[in-house]
């Protein structure tokens, strides 16, 4: 009720602002069971279900009706809604712990976003007209974001500092209090958990198992007391919000947000820049970045219902708008809370309605994790996720620098030695950068030139 009012007010206030484009983040659709280690959040693989594919497809259709329909109030000015223009749309999918689920969700969503059209044809030299496969289906490239060489969509794995922060949360007074409060309820759960550990630490896995069984197992769904699913959801949300947020903007718990924001900001800026063709940027992700992003933008403080695990096929749409009155571009934060409800506009950054893009940038800038090497430093990692070659290059550079110091003892003038030392150090640094660039490690927060994969129904089960 209150939300509806907010939403109406926001659209009235800015009814004649021009929509330049949108950055969309979605959670994957329904999937099979999943387990993640409560200490490290290392995950086991799982698969999307037909229900999940349908949920994402419908989400794609809803996004199309909002943003790619010329009669919609939110039509993106200048976007080609019939044919995919690869300069206007950019898609990335997390290829981490949930493997194909998140990638496949992006495939399904894009099929709803750009449905087959018999106008997708080509005239051949011999006079034949050929329509694309599946009645004119268009393939949108999807960048598969592999955690091994890109930290942006899964900042939290292999991160000792994050694991330490999670352990500290489990040892906190508030965690002990929650344990006391929830003990009586948790004691009722073992009969439903097929031997899984019933501890507050393991709350995400408890919720996930009960949720998946409630959706897919008729006998289980009938046996589970009616309030239990909502109760485990509330506890799991409290748990995950505690793990994936922080009392301070730059705290390690906010690492999912700190790692994904450089990409989001770069896309928002591209959309705001009239000379850049980008209009629709889409990232398919897990629930974790949503928690940090709602915390870091203050949206969860203004709307406590955002401090929860977002349901399957939820979508955050950050609209970039040019106010009719002129001035700088603004952001409107719209969120769709899973299936069955539509997008609602939320306040953020302590304000009301649309906020200047520059305010968002200024707010988060000091805590962004802008590169792999920044991530390696924050997580104190010298071996995983691209940190190994970086650490080796740094070690080589320091060895070379000390050799250069030895050169000072050669019988040449101190001034000459100084030049030699500086020259060697410079050469070493240049060589190091060349090696890093060659290894592709200097391309974090990179542009849209990265090799993309093409989505197609036939490869949708392929594991990225
Ligand atoms: C024209 O070329 C296409 C593609 O090579 C071929 O499938 C088709 O049979 C050709 N049509 C004629 C009339 O030669
Ligand atoms: C972010 O989450 C922490 C809990 O981890 C909370 O203390 C803090 O108030 C939240 N910040 C905002 C702005 O919502
Ligand atoms: C989203 O739906 C869940 C129930 O599925 C509810 O608990 C939560 O408060 C809702 N969040 C928002 C932002 O409406």
Measured from the alpha carbon of residue 300, the closest ligand is 2
Residue 207 pLDDT exceeds 60: yes
Q: Tell me the CA–centroid distance for residue 214 and ligand 2, in Å.
A: 31
CA nearest neighbour of 306 among 85, 38, 1, 3: 3
| Residue of the CA atom closest to atom 12 of ligand 3 | 305
Residue 422 pLDDT exceeds 70: no
Residue 11 pLDDT exceeds 70: no
Q: Is the CB of 337 under 6 A from ligand 3?
A: yes
Q: Is the CB of 126 under 6 A from ligand 1?
A: yes
Return d(Cα 378, Cα 258) in angstroms, integer.
11
Q: Tell me the CA–centroid distance for residue 92 and ligand 3, in Å.
A: 26
Measured from the alpha carbon of residue 1, the closest ligand is 3
Q: Which tens digits make up the pLDDT trace of 151-183?
A: 999 999 999 999 999 999 999 999 999 999 999
Structure tokens at 248: 């301070």
Q: Which tens digits make up the pLDDT trace of 114-155?
A: 999 999 999 999 999 999 999 999 999 999 999 988 999 999
Q: Is the CB of 1 under 6 A from ligand 1?
A: no
Q: What is the pLDDT of residue 201?
A: 97
Ligand 3 atom with the shortest distance to the CA of 314: 1
| Residue of the CA atom closest to atom 13 of ligand 2 | 298
CA nearest neighbour of 67 among 88, 81, 85: 81
Q: Which tens digits make up the pLDDT trace of 65-115?
A: 999 999 999 999 999 999 999 999 999 999 987 778 999 999 999 999 999
Return d(Cα 385, Cα 150) in angstroms, integer.
7
* Structural Rg of the chain based on CA atoms: 25
CB 332 within 8 A of CB 345: yes
Ligand 2 atom with the shortest distance to the CA of 301: 14
| Residue of the CA atom closest to atom 5 of ligand 3 | 311
* Strand intervals (E) in 18-140: 18-27, 89-94, 121-123, 129-131
- Report residue 406's pLDDT band, with 50, 70 and 90 as the boundaries: low
Ligand 3 atom with the shortest distance to the CA of 310: 1
Q: Tell me the CA–centroid distance for residue 306 and ligand 3, in Å.
A: 7
Q: Is the CB of 311 under 6 A from ligand 3?
A: yes
DSSP SS3 for 89: strand
Q: What is the pLDDT of residue 4?
A: 46
Ligand 2 atom with the shortest distance to the CA of 245: 5
Q: Which tens digits make up the pLDDT trace of 236-285?
A: 999 999 999 999 999 999 999 999 999 999 999 999 999 999 999 999 99
Length of the chain in terms of residues written: 464
| Residue of the CA atom closest to atom 7 of ligand 2 | 247
**Ligand 2 pocket test target in 162, 172, 258, 301 with most atoms within 8 Å of CB:** 301
Q: Which tens digits make up the pLDDT trace of 325-335?
A: 989 999 999 99
C-alpha neighbours within 13 Å on the C-beta side of residue 324: 7
Q: Tell me the CA–centroid distance for residue 328 and ligand 1, in Å.
A: 53
Give the helix, strand, coil percentages of the chain, each rounded to 5. Answer: 45, 15, 40
Residue 428 pLDDT exceeds 60: no
Q: What is the pLDDT of residue 441?
A: 52
Q: Which stretch of 38-42, 230-234, 317-321, 403-407 has the lowest confidence by average pLDDT?
A: 403-407
pLDDT over 70 percentage in the chain: 84
Residues 6 or more apart whose CB falls under 8 angstroms from that of 315 comprise: 24, 25, 26, 27, 59, 63, 335, 336, 343
pTM comes to 0.84
Measured from the alpha carbon of residue 342, the closest ligand is 3
**Which H/E stretch holds residue 437?**
helix 414-439
Residue 401 pLDDT exceeds 90: no
**Which H/E stretch holds residue 294?**
helix 288-296
Measured from the alpha carbon of residue 254, the closest ligand is 2
Higher pLDDT pick, 390 / 299:
299
Structure tokens at 139: 């393939």
Q: What is the pLDDT of residue 464?
A: 32
Segment 353-366 mean pLDDT: 98
Return d(Cα 38, Cα 203) in angstroms, integer.
8
Q: What is the pLDDT of residue 15?
A: 58
Q: Is the CB of 128 under 6 A from ligand 1?
A: yes
| Residue of the CA atom closest to atom 6 of ligand 2 | 247
| Residue of the CA atom closest to atom 6 of ligand 1 | 128
Q: Tell me the CA–centroid distance for residue 295 and ligand 2, in Å.
A: 6
Q: CA of 347: how far to CAs of 3, 112, 249, 288, 352, in Å?
A: 10, 28, 18, 20, 5
Residues 6 or more apart whose CB falls under 8 angstroms from that of 277 comprise: 85, 87, 88
Across the chain, how many H-helices and E-strands are there?
16, 11
Q: What is the pLDDT of residue 456?
A: 38
In DSSP terms, which residues pair with 26 in a beta bridge?
284, 315
In DSSP terms, which residues pair with 453 in a beta bridge?
142
- Report residue 432's pLDDT band, with 50, 70 and 90 as the boundaries: low
In sequence order, what DSSP letters do the residues of 211-223 get, joined into one string?
Answer: HHHHHH-HHHHHH
The per-residue pLDDT of the chain, averaged, comes to: 87
Return d(Cα 268, Cα 321) in angstroms, integer.
10
Ligand 3 atom with the shortest distance to the CA of 234: 7
Q: Which tens digits make up the pLDDT trace of 23-55?
A: 999 999 999 888 888 888 888 778 999 999 999
In sequence order, what DSSP letters do the residues of 384-402 get, joined into one string?
Answer: TTTHHHHHHHHHHHHHHHH
Higher pLDDT pick, 158 / 413:
158
In DSSP terms, which residues pair with 48 in a beta bridge?
31
Ligand 1 atom with the shortest distance to the CA of 126: 1
Residues 6 or more apart whose CB falls under 8 angstroms from that of 162 comprise: 41, 155, 156, 252, 253, 255, 379
Q: Tell me the CA–centroid distance for residue 309 and ligand 3, in Å.
A: 8
Q: Which stretch of 340-344, 372-376, 386-390 has the lowest confidence by average pLDDT?
A: 386-390
Return d(Cα 263, Cα 149) in angstroms, integer.
15
Under CATH, domain 2-158+246-367 is a member of which superfamily?
Phosphoglycerate mutase-like (3.40.50.1240)
**Ligand 2 pocket test target in 178, 295, 306 with most atoms within 8 Å of CB:** 295
C-alpha neighbours within 13 Å on the C-beta side of residue 455: 28
Task: Domain ranges for the chain, please list them.
Answer: 2-158+246-367, 387-441
Q: CA of 456: how far to CAs of 82, 137, 180, 461, in Å?
A: 18, 9, 50, 10
Measured from the alpha carbon of residue 341, the closest ligand is 3
As for ligand 2, residues whose beta carbon falls within 6 Å of it are 242, 245-247, 253, 295, 298, 300-301
C-alpha neighbours within 13 Å on the C-beta side of residue 346: 26
**Ligand 3 pocket test target in 231, 301, 305 with most atoms within 8 Å of CB:** 305
Phi-psi domain of 363 (left: phi exceeds 0; alpha: psi -120 through 50; beta: other): alpha
Q: Is the CB of 308 under 6 A from ligand 3?
A: yes
Q: Which stretch of 13-17, 111-115, 209-213, 254-258 has the lowest confidence by average pLDDT?
A: 13-17
Q: Is the CB of 171 under 6 A from ligand 1?
A: no
């Amino acid at each position: 009720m209150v939300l509806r009012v907010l939403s109406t007010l926001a659209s009235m206030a800015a009814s004649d602002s021009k929509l330049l484009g949108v950055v969309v983040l979605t959670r994957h659709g329904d999937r099979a069971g999943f387990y993640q280690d409560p200490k490290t959040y290392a995950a086991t693989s799982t698969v999307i279900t037909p229900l999940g594919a349908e949920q994402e497809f419908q989400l794609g259709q809803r996004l199309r009706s909002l943003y790619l329909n010329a009669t919609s109030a939110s039509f993106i000015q200048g976007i080609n809604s019939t044919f995919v223009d690869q300069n206007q749309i950019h898609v990335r999918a997390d290829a981490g712990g949930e493997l194909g689920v998140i990638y496949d969700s992006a495939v399904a969503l894009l099929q709803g976003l750009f449905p087959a059209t018999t106008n997708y044809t080509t005239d051949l030299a011999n006079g034949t007209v050929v329509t694309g496969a599946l009645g004119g289906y268009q393939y949108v490239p999807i960048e598969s974001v592999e955690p091994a060489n890109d930290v942006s969509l899964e900042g939290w794995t292999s991160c000792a500092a994050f694991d330490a922060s999670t352990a500290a949360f489990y040892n906190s007074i508030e965690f002990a209090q929650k344990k006391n409060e929830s003990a009586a309820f948790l004691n009722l759960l073992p009969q439903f958990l097929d031997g899984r550990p019933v501890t507050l630490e393991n709350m995400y896995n408890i919720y996930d198992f009960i949720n998946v069984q409630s959706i897919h197992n008729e006998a289980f769904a009938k046996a589970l007391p009616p309030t239990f699913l909502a109760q485990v959801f509330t506890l799991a949300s409290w748990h995950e919000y505690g793990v994936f947020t922080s009392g301070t903007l730059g705290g390690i718990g906010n690492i999912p947000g700190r790692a994904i924001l450089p990409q989001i900001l770069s896309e928002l800026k591209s959309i705001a820049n009239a000379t850049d063709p980008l209009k629709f940027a889409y990232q398919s992700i897990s629930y974790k970045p949503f928690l940090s992003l709602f915390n870091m933008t203050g949206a969860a403080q203004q709307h406590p219902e955002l401090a929860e695990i977002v349901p399957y096929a939820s979508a955050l749409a950050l609209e970039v708008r040019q106010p009719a009155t002129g001035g700088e571009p603004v952001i409107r934060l719209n969120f769709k809370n899973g299936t069955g409800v539509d997008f609602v506009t939320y306040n953020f950054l302590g304000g009301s309605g649309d906020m200047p893009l520059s305010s968002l940038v200024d707010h988060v800038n000091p805590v962004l994790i802008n590169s792999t090497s920044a991530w390696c430093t924050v997580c104190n990692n010298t071996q995983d996720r691209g940190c190994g070659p970086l650490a080796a290059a740094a070690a080589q550079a320091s060895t070379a620098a000390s050799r250069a110091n030895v050169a000072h003892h050669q019988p040449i003038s101190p001034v000459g030695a100084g030049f030699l030392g500086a020259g060697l150090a410079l050469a070493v640094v240049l060589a190091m950068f060349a090696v890093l660039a060659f290894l592709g490690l200097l391309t974090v927060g990179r542009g849209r030139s990265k090799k993309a994969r093409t989505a197609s129904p036939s490869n949708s089960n392929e594991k990225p």
